[in-house]
Amino acid sequence: MTWADIGALDDIPAQGARVVKTAAGCVAVFRTADDRVFAMADQCPHKGGPLSEGIVHGTSVTCPLHAWVFSLESGEAQGPDAGAVATFAVRIEAGRILLDMRRLARRVAA
Amino acid sequence: MKRKLVIIGAGMASGRMLETLLDMAPDAYDVTLFNAEPRGNYNRLMLSPVLSGEKTYEEIVTHDEAWYAARGIETRFGEHVVRIDRARQVVISARGETHYDKLVIATGSAPFILPVQGKDLPGVVTYRDLEDTNAMIAIARPGAKAVVIGGGLLGLEAAAGMAARGAEVVVIHIMGHLMERQLDPSAGYLLQKDLERRGIKVHCRGATKAILGHDRVEAVALDDGTVYGADLVCMAVGIRPEVRLANDAHLEVGRGIVVNDQMTTSDPAIHALGECVEHNRQLFGLVAPLYDQAKVLAATLAGQAAAFRPVQTATKLKVTGVDLFSAGDFAEGPGREDIVFRDPGRGIYKRLVIEGDRLLGAVMYGDTADGAWFFSQIKEGSDISAMRDTLIFGPGFQGAAPADPLAAVAALPPEAEICGCNGVCKGRIVTAIQGGAVTLDAVRASTKASASCGTCTGLVEQVMALTLGGGFKANANPPLCKCTDHTHEDVRRLIKAGAMKSIPAVMQELGWKTAGGCATCRPALNYYLIADWPLDYRDDRQSRFVNERNHANIQKDGTYSVVPRMWGGVTTPAELRAIADAADKYKVAMVKVTGGQRIDLLGVRKEDLPAIWADLNDAGMVSGHAYSKGLRTVKTCVGSEFCRFGTQDSTGLGIKLEKMLWGSWTPAKVKLGVSGCPRNCAEATCKDIGVVCVDSGYEVSVAGAAGMDVRETLPLCKVATEAEVMEAVAAFVQLYRENARYLHRIYKWVDKVGLDWCQAQIADPATRRALCDRFQLSQSIYQVDPWAEHAKPAERAKWAALADLTLEAAE
């Protein structure tokens, strides 16, 4: 299988996130104010902060530990900080959130 | 030998001319300056902020007596010149005759007075000088009624200023929409809506018939039969050049005193400048061309060649919170086309008038950030055909430049005008900064940019930031965050004034520049809304920092710490057993005693939080809010119950205070201490609020600190009973909640507002009582244990992972 059903859209608060445990580490799944979803590794490249606990604004999240800001779309750090977080494809189908497992599986194999 | 220069009028144009002349030719003239007003030159554009109370007269003085004295200028303030004798080259005033070699007439303009019945009644004023402003300030109290006749720039600034002081204001305007010389009907309508929202009534197509009253003004009657009650009437229907002296001297006078390009009148020994002149059949009312005239006349007097060429001017209305910009020619006409952008929901309107490939005029309302850029396109006559599709979106959309305001300023060419009043372009500001002007005041001093009406201050600061990079220190009160230009104080005030009750409403109404804000503004807005609208607003959990959202302190490894409340630092064997059991059960990595007299359980996993909270709840404990911008701890000593020195029951009082205050949200954390005697074992005098018990009662002090800064508390009040301590503390906490900036501890806030003010609020019984009542009202909603809410079985799943795919991914 490539797309895993990880839960309902309503399980994630708008402007919030939940965590999915995978063999490749925790993945943060974000829901924006306009009900789009994004997935990225739940680990800030700076000091490993859980990005799933950051404040979600627009299509960005601010790390709760030292306020680095990442684009949910690209995983790139914004502003003066340099770094990136791995992003994963995710989509909504009939109110369910589906996570693309291919890239995750590659990360495990690597 | 020095020649004799006499100047009639000490207004802004003559002040600027003198300054320039003294720079160019300091020793050319002996100067005598007459002024009908009994004072020197002040920035007349700034009378509006004086009227609204945002500035004082002292702040707008540009040239005082000392300035003239230091330059050897003889001042004759309050002395009217009654006649000019051209044949003998003298001016005649109350104190005799004064000879001149060169004479400058700068008599400015006089307000136009409608020739209606009652125009001379006491209480009818115009809006030209400090006397008028003071007359309006004296009457514009809450409940007073004011009528402004005239809905142009001056009239609206007068109306807004009096409304800001609490008066009920009606604006009567004869035309179909406000500011018809600067705005088209659509923008005029938006402006009218904005003013009406501030409580100003606007009556367009209203012709004044008479001003009614016996001993002083009582009402204004219109042709259509409407009558408005009035304690004050301000006539702001226009100005006419003050030409009487010139007329009597038989100089050539049209509507104004006629001058040539060198600002010389029909008599070569007499010059004129400012609002009293007419040049190529044109009159001048805005400050920018007047300053140009000043430069030209200074050069003429210094014997240098110069010629006055009027340039296009742009207009901004100086009413706090109203964003309006117009420039160029925007009348409709054959061959002219409009590009219009409308977003009525956000109150934004932009209209560009185009003829052929050129931009002729721009009117903007609600979002004027691109005004300077459009204005420079108009003045340069740039060919805009290539960017016509996206022109209305401003410079951010031309080429690849992002919509960042700094980038927009960076994209401006050196000749782009930044300060319209003084005609200062970007290049001159950059040169001044590179020449050592590294503060805003220094830039103002050396270039005059932002020194007149001040609306370009933000732009000047952006040029400074670009030129100086990291070396630039922005003004002392920067915007709340990069999403807005408003300061914390503005946002707090506008939330209350505009009855905004949700984060999206605040962002819409105040024109937030980002969708959804950022991690800086969202928690601040959430707090302000909680504090101001306890009954209407619902806490937005997603706008809180992780610790407050999860009701526990996140640690560097992503685990959390759990701190149950121990009222006044007092616990029991049963509570300690329950804490020990919880520490074992959830494999707590460290058990630590905190500085606030309680116990911290460190290293709890997020998914275990609801369960450990439920266990502690079962033993009768609630959240200690060790993570919140709210009440943390009340530290106590054992007091009179055990201690041989104790004067009062400090432990009991501390517990009562903690039970009253817990659960309240505040701008930053709040810690209290209660000591039973002046030995002060609870270290109360370095807390946000400290109580020290003495034989005769209780000394309540505030604004201590023992963190990054160390401060001793300052006395707030001394009272005799516990009940009075409770009331004073609740009132003071509420005062802090309602007024401080988010994340400012009490000592920082008291530094800003002053201890005297805090003492006065708490000392006044009615104010104190009202603050207390508002605090209790808020507590009736917010004093709940968050642990109990989140530990409910239905809530627990939300604290664990959404899904566990560890096995699937391995396939």
Q: Which of A4, A62, A64 sits opposite B808 (nearest CB)?
A: A4
- pLDDT: which is higher, B50 or B784: B784
Bridge partners, residue B92, by sequence: B83, B97
Tell me whether domains B3-109+241-301 and B113-237 share a fold. Answer: yes
The answer as to CATH 3.50.50.60 being correct for domain B3-109+241-301 is yes
Nearest CA in chain A to B550: A53
Rounded mean pLDDT of B209-234? Answer: 93
* Chain B residue with Cα closest to A43: B558
Residue of chain B minimizing CA distance to A52: B546
Q: Chain B contacts of A24, Cβ < 8 Å? A: 809
Compute the residue count for chain B: 811
B216 with B139: CB under 8 angstroms?
Answer: no
Q: How confident is the model at residue B474 (pLDDT cuts 50, 70, 90)?
A: low
Neighboring chain B residues of A16 at a CB cutoff of 8 Å: 541-542
Highest CATH level, class, for B113-237: alpha beta
Cβ within 8 Å of B, A 24-53: 24, 26, 29, 32-33, 47-50, 53
- Residue B514 and residue A57: Cβ atoms within 8 Å? yes
pLDDT in tens, B740-774: 999 999 999 998 888 999 999 999 999 999 999 99
Residues of B near A (Cβ–Cβ under 8 Å) read 514-519, 522-523, 541-546, 549-550, 554, 556-558, 798, 801-811
Q: Using a CB–CB cutoff of 8 Å, tell me whether A15 touches chain B.
A: yes
Position B165 pLDDT exceeds 90: no
Q: Return d(Cα B168, Cα B53) in angstroms, integer.
A: 16
How many domains is chain A built from? 1
Closest chain A C-alpha to B126 CA, distance in angstroms: 50
Asked if B230 and B220 touch (Cβ cutoff 8 Å), the reply is yes
Inspect the interface and report whether the beta carbons of A101 and B808 lie closer than 8 Å: yes
Question: Is there a contact between A54 and B804 if contact means CB atoms under 8 Å apart?
Answer: no
Position B400 scores a pLDDT of 43
Q: Which residues of B touch A66 (CB under 8 A)?
A: none
Q: How many cross-chain Cβ pairs, A to B, lie less than 8 Å apart?
A: 102
**DSSP letters along B215-280, please?**
SS--EEEETTS-EEE-SEEEE-S-EEE--HHHHHTT--BSSSEE--TTSB-SSTTEEE-STTEEBT
3-state secondary structure of B46: helix
| Residue A59 tokens, joined | 């299509």
Find the mean pLDDT for residues B51-69: 84
Query: Measured in whole angstroms, how far is the alpha carbon of residue B746 from the centre of its chain?
Result: 22
Question: Residue B800: closest CA among chain A residues belongs to which residue?
Answer: A19
What DSSP character marks residue B303? Answer: T
B4-49 tens-digit pLDDT: 999 999 988 999 999 999 989 888 999 999 998 888 788 887 888 8
Per-residue pLDDT, B790:
94
Distance from CA of A35 to the nearest CA of B (A): 13
A contacts of B508 (beta carbons < 8 Å):
none
The CATH number for A8's domain is 2.102.10.10
Taking the CA of residue B561 and the nearest CA in chain A, the distance in Å comes to: 15
From B515, B542, B557, residue closest to A58, measured CB to CB: B515
CA–CA separation, B370 vs B357, rounded Å? Answer: 19
Which residues on chain B are in Cβ contact (under 8 Å) with A57? 514, 516-519, 522
Query: Structural domain of residue A8, as residue ranges?
Result: 3-109
Name B123's Cβ contacts closer than 8 Å, sequence gap at least 6: B139, B213, B216, B217, B230, B231, B232, B233
Q: Could you tell me whether strands B168-172 and B201-203 are parallel, antiparallel, or unpaired per DSSP bridges?
A: parallel
Give how far A86 is from chain B: nearest CA, Å: 16
Task: Give the pLDDT of residue A87.
Answer: 94
**Residue B58, helix vs strand vs coil:** helix
Express as a percent the part of chain B with pLDDT over 70. 95
Which residues does B727 contact at the CB level (< 8 Å), separation at least 6? B768, B769, B772
Q: Which of residues 54-93 of A touch B (CB under 8 A)?
A: 54-58, 60, 62, 64-65, 67, 69
Of A4, A20, A53, the CB nearest to B801: A20
- Decide if B519 and A67 are in contact by the 8 Å CB cutoff: yes
> In whole angstroms, how far apart are CA B148 and each of B55, B154, B159, B210?
22, 10, 6, 13
Interface contact flag, A48 B550, Cβ < 8 Å: no
Name the more confident of B239 and B567: B567
Inform me whether the pLDDT recorded for B570 exceeds 90. Answer: yes
Q: How confident is the model at residue B811 (pLDDT cuts 50, 70, 90)?
A: very low
What percent of chain A is predicted at pLDDT more than 90?
76
Q: What is the DSSP letter of A48?
A: -
Nearest to B806 among A7, A21, A33 (CB): A21
- Cα–Cα distance between B416 and B477 in angstroms, integer? 27
Interface test with A, best of B502, B542, B811 (most A CBs within 10 A): B542
Alpha-carbon dihedral B650, B655, B661, B663, rounded to 10 degrees: 150
Specify the pLDDT at position B586.
Answer: 96
Query: Which positions in chain A touch B515 (Cβ < 8 Å)?
Result: 33, 58
Which of B554, B802, B804 is opposite residue A11, by nearest beta carbon? B802
Residue from A9, A11, A15 whose CB has the most chain B CBs within 10 Å, to mutate: A15
Instruction: Give A47's contacts in chain B (Cβ within 8 Å).
Output: 556
- B447 or B572, higher pLDDT: B572
For residue B549, which residues of chain A lie inside 8 Å, CB to CB?
Answer: 53
CATH of domain B547-623: 3.90.480.10
One-letter amino acid of A70: F
Residues A91, A84 contacting (CB under 8 angstroms): no
Q: Considering only alpha carbons, which residue of chain A is nearest residue B549?
A: A53
Give the pLDDT confidence score for residue B499 in this predicted structure: 85
Across the range B576-600, mean pLDDT stands at: 96
Pick the CATH number of B631-784 from 3.90.76.10, 3.40.50.720, 3.40.50.1820, 3.30.413.10: 3.30.413.10
In this predicted model, which residue has the larger pLDDT, B186 or B570? B570
Residue of B nearest to A2 (CA): B809
Q: Chain B contact for A6, CB < 8 A?
A: yes
Given a contact cutoff of 8 angstroms between Cβ atoms, the answer to whether B156 and B178 are in contact is: yes
Most B-contacting residue of A6, A22, A71 (CB-CB within 10 A), to test interface: A22
Q: Is A55–B523 a contact, with Cβ atoms under 8 angstroms apart?
A: yes
